[in-house]
Structures are given as C-alpha cells and as structure tokens.
C-alpha cells in the first residue's frame, strides 16, 4: 500500500493576499509540477488549497465565518463560494496541464458544520476518486451550519477532521514562508524559524507568533499551528510539516517524505 499524504497549498502561497482575486499562476503551475512528481513516485494524495485573496476579502465583508442569517449575508455566502471555486478552477486546470487527473471535492457540497466546526463530511466521494485513479482536490469553502446557518471551513479544519478517519502518514502544508517564525519573516527578516514544534509547547509558540498579513477570516498561521498541534496530540505517529511552496523540488521531496529538514515540523 502506498503512503497517504495530505497536502495543502496555502492561500498566501497561491494568491497575492494584498490584491483581491489575484492568483499567482506561476506558483500554482510550479506546485502542480511538484505534485505531479510526487504522484509519479507512487504517493497517494489528498490535495487541499486555501482561498487567499479570493475567498477571504468577501468573507470578511459579509462576516461569513461568524454565521449567515440575513438575505445580504446569504448573498455573501454564495459570493464567497463562487470566489473559492474560481481559484479551485485555476488549481485544477494547472494540474490537468501536468497530466494529473485532478477532481474537485468542494466542502460546501459535502460538509455540515455546527458552531463553526466541521460536524460531518461524506468521505465516500474521496474514496471513489482514489479508486478511480483521480486526485481529489478540496479547498477552504463555505458550509451550511446547524447553529449559525452558514460558516467558513478552512482546509486546515478539513484536514483535522479527515486525518483520524483516513489516517494519513503525514501532512504537508505549503505556505509563503519557510515554516513557522517567531515573527512575520516578511516584515522582520531576522525572525527565528522554529525547526520543530512539540505539541506540548503549543501555547508558548502561539503567544510568540505574529498575526496574519491581509484579511484572514480563518485565523492564519496561529490557527494552523493550534489545530495541527491538537491533531498530532491525538495521532502521535503523525508528522505535520509546514514549509515554503516556492521551491518545487523541496515541496515534492517533502510530500514524498524526503525533505525532513525543510520548514517547521510539528510532532507529538
């Protein structure tokens, strides 16, 4: 049996977060190349991607993350879903260009949330996609919510929900920075990188790291670190690696489990 790996291409990596609806097409293409390389090496993948400057600005304008009630908020819900899907179309297109049979799995169609957390998601379409030899591609999306009407579900939430059910060998989160830093390395170039975060030290790390740049309704790096620490605590064999997606051969090596020094690793 080949190893199962969850891979996320972060919104800060594949879009320009400072410019609404601005995709970094050349980055998407190079990441698609890395994914094609890892797949040809026999790794089984679930790919997810963030929304960056597609979903986040609209989600912030309609405060979709905190619930959806009025007709104008439901309009926002539909608009956020559309923006998230537009980016997904670009990612899928880049993968198809590489000869990868990428297939969209939108959380908005399969997931139900409660109070902003994922409550149920039908895994069957994922299993069917793998059996058919397709690469399932999910993404941060809107979801109906039993308590709040609607909300936003991030890729990190999707991975945290799916990991105990599908038992991946590792999770690779490709971002715009080479891992987790004590401060935003774009603003503070001397900021120190964490090479490894032990889930038990999570609180101290969370106190240290900076807030996201640009609108981020799903909590940015801090929320990612918190969720991944919780996850590895409940699945002690799991390794989560957060690294830059800008160097395709390093990304491919990380997906295949061969770039263990790159970025930041979160372990139990």
Interface with ligand IPE (CB under 6 A) = 10-11, 50-52, 55-56, 59, 80, 84, 140-141, 152, 154-156, 216-218
For residues 9 and 14, give the distance between their C-alpha atoms in angstroms, rounded to a whole number.
7
Look up residue 157 and give its two tokens: 């939430």
- Contacts for 4 with CB less than 8 Å, ≥ 6 apart: 44, 45, 46, 166, 167, 168, 169
Nearer to ligand IPE, 145 or 216 (CB): 216
- State which H helix or E strand residue 150 sits in: strand 149-153
Find the shortest distance in angstroms from Cβ 91 to ligand IPE: 12
Find the shortest distance in angstroms from Cβ 80 to ligand IPE: 5
Find the shortest distance in angstroms from Cβ 54 to ligand IPE: 7
Nearer to ligand IPE, 15 or 236 (CB): 15
Find the shortest distance in angstroms from Cβ 88 to ligand IPE: 10
Find the shortest distance in angstroms from Cβ 84 to ligand IPE: 4
Find the shortest distance in angstroms from Cβ 6 to ligand IPE: 12
Nearer to ligand IPE, 97 or 223 (CB): 223
Buried b (16+ CB within 10 A) or exposed e, 190-214: ebeebeebebeebeebeeebbebeb
For residues 133 and 200, give the distance between their C-alpha atoms in angstroms, rounded to a whole number.
38
Q: Is there a contact between 242 and 159 (Cβ–Cβ < 8 Å)?
A: no
Nearer to ligand IPE, 45 or 132 (CB): 45
Nearer to ligand IPE, 41 or 245 (CB): 245
Nearer to ligand IPE, 41 or 67 (CB): 67
Residue 86 burial by CB count (10 A; 0-12/13-18/19+): exposed, middle or buried?
middle
What radius of gyration do the chain's Cα atoms show? 17
């Amino acid at each position: 049996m080949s190893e199962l790996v969850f891979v996320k291409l972060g919104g800060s990596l594949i879009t320009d977060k400072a410019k609404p609806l601005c995709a970094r097409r050349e980055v998407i293409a190079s990441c698609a190349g890395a994914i094609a390389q890892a797949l040809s090496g026999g790794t089984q993948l679930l790919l997810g991607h963030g929304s960056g400057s597609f979903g986040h600005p609209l989600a912030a304008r309609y405060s979709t993350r905190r619930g959806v009630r009025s007709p104008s908020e439901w309009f926002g819900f539909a608009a956020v879903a559309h923006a998230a899907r537009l980016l997904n179309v670009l990612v899928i297109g880049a993968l198809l260009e590489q000869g990868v049979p990428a297939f969209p799995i939108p959380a908005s169609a399969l997931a139900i949330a409660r109070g902003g957390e994922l409550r149920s998601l039908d895994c069957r379409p994922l299993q069917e996609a793998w059996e058919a030899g397709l690469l399932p591609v999910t993404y941060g999306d809107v979801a109906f919510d039993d308590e709040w009407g609607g909300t936003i579900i991030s890729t990190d939430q999707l991975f945290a929900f799916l990991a105990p059910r599908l038992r991946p060998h590792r999770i690779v989160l490709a971002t715009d920075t080479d891992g987790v830093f004590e401060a935003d390395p774009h603003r503070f170039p001397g900021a120190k990188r964490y090479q490894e975060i032990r889930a038990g030290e999570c609180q101290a790390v969370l106190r240290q790291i900076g807030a996201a740049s640009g609108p981020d309704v799903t909590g940015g790096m801090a929320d990612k670190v918190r969720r991944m620490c919780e996850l590895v605590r409940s699945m002690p064999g799991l390794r989560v690696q957060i690294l830059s997606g800008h160097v395709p051969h390093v990304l491919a090596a990380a997906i295949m489990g061969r770039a263990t020094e790159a970025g930041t690793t979160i372990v139990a």
